[in-house]
Structure 1
Amino acid sequence: MNLLKGLEKEYYIEKYTIQSLFSFDISPFVQVFQFEKGNFIIQEGSAPEYLFYMVEGKAKLYVSHKNGKVSLINFLTPPIFMGEIELLNEEKYSKSIQTSSKCICLGIAIEKCKEKLLADAHFLKYLCIFLSNKSTAHSTKYTKHQAYPLENKLAEFILLSSHEDIYREKHTEISEYFGVSYRHLLHTFAQLSEAGMIEKIKMSYKILDREKLQALADEIK
């Protein structure tokens, strides 16, 4: 994790117009963080010090179970807030958020301006809309998982989770995410490979035909 300062900080604050989400001057409370791939933005069980606003990159949301198992909940793509539930005190301790590519996040120091944040009607209105859209997206994802074959869902997932056309997710994790058997997942990967959309390279897959994958993914929409 790197903390960006000076002109770099100003650049990202201006580029992603975070000030438009608030009715008070937010810039004194904002820091810009650069997370490398594999870094944790938020550790599970911790109380976040920052309300993060991811503006570049991709990340994964995880939860741990009492039996020691760890489950992938969702992929996170910008622009998205992270730690907003903790800010509202509905949930004291957070789930894990780990980067799957280099990420840029604008971090708002919660303790320095929590009262201002919770009294800002403009920000709270935006947050309500954001949380509503987030809830709708989760419901839609669940419906998609029930209504479409794995081939379509996997095509969409590969496009979402790949970095520079390389897909490297764990089969065990993804089979659980989709609620299918490991064998079914491997069979579907083989189908996409035979169709010339992807190619297996050691422990990963390379995207060969993005348009065909996108066409499969678009059938879900």
Structure 2
Amino acid sequence: MHILTAEARTHYLEKYPIDDFFSFDINPYLEVRQFDKGEWIFQEGSFPDTVYYMIEGKAKLYMTHKNGKVSLIEYLEAPLFMGEIELLNEARYTKGIQTVTKTICYSITQSCKEKLLADALFLRRLCVFLGEKATKMTSKYTQNQAYPLENRLAAFIQLSADQGVYKEKHTEICEYLGVSYRHLLYVLAQFCEERILEKRKTGYQIIDKNRLAQLAQEVL
């Protein structure tokens, strides 16, 4: 992770304005940070002192269970807040968030926590975000029951691919999508036969973006 230059900061703030999220001047409390692919934004169990607003990139949200098993809970895609629950909750125990691609975030220090928690404009924005987040999570679970794996996997590949390449761990994705390992491999092989994907050493290259999008559109 590194803080971007003043010039880059100006570029991103012009491209992704955030001033209207707040009723006070947020600039003294804000930095623009870049996380490289595979970096941890939050380590699980840490006590973050920062609220992030992702403006570009993708990340994974993980949770470790009491038995030691680690589960992928959700894929995160810009734009969205991270660390907002820790801001609202005094316990501030966070789940792990790891980037999937290069990711650009606005970093807001909790030194302005009292201002944030007293700001009706920001809290209204946060409430809308949390409502949309809850709806998305509910939709994901209902989709697992309502749609075939072909459609759900196509949507997932679109979401998780980096520069046209899909290379997630099969075991992790089986659990996330609620399917067997064998079923997942069968559908991936089917996509390859239909020339939607091509298996390579680096992962699965997306060959037919239009066909993948058609399959994904069923669940979007």
Match runs of 1:158-177 below 5 Å: 158-177=157-176
Separation in 2, partners of 1:90, 1:115: 13
Partner of 1:155 in structure 2? 154
CA contact (8 A) 1:54 1:105 kept: yes
CA contact (8 A) 1:56 1:103 kept: yes
TM-score of the superposed pair, with normalisation by structure 2: 0.97
Q: State the AA in 1 paired with 2:83.
A: G
Partner of 2:92 in structure 1? 92
Partner of 1:116 in structure 2? 115
Structure 1 position 5, deviation (Å): 2.9
Partner of 1:127 in structure 2? 126
Structure 1 position 148, deviation (Å): 0.3
Runs of 4+ more than 4 Å apart: none
Q: State the AA in 2 paired with 1:118.
A: L
Equivalent position SS for 2:191: helix
Q: Percent identity?
A: 57
Separation in 1, partners of 2:145, 2:90: 29
Structure 1 position 166, deviation (Å): 0.5
Partner of 1:193 in structure 2? 192
What whole-Å deviation, never above 9, does each CA across 1:25-56 have from its counterpart, x for those lacking one? 00000011100000001110011111000001
Between stretches 3-12 and 189-198, larger displacement belongs to 3-12
Q: State the AA in 1 paired with 2:47.
A: A
Q: Which sections of structure 1, spanning at least 5 residues, go unmatched?
A: none
Partner of 1:17 in structure 2? 17
Equivalent position SS for 2:66: coil
Partner of 2:104 in structure 1? 104
Equivalent position SS for 1:106: strand
TM-score of the superposed pair, with normalisation by structure 1: 0.97
Equivalent position SS for 1:38: coil
Structure 1 position 175, deviation (Å): 0.5
Structure 1 position 203, deviation (Å): 5.1
Q: State the AA in 1 paired with 2:41.
A: I
Question: How much is the aligned-residue C-alpha RMSD, in angstroms?
Answer: 1.1
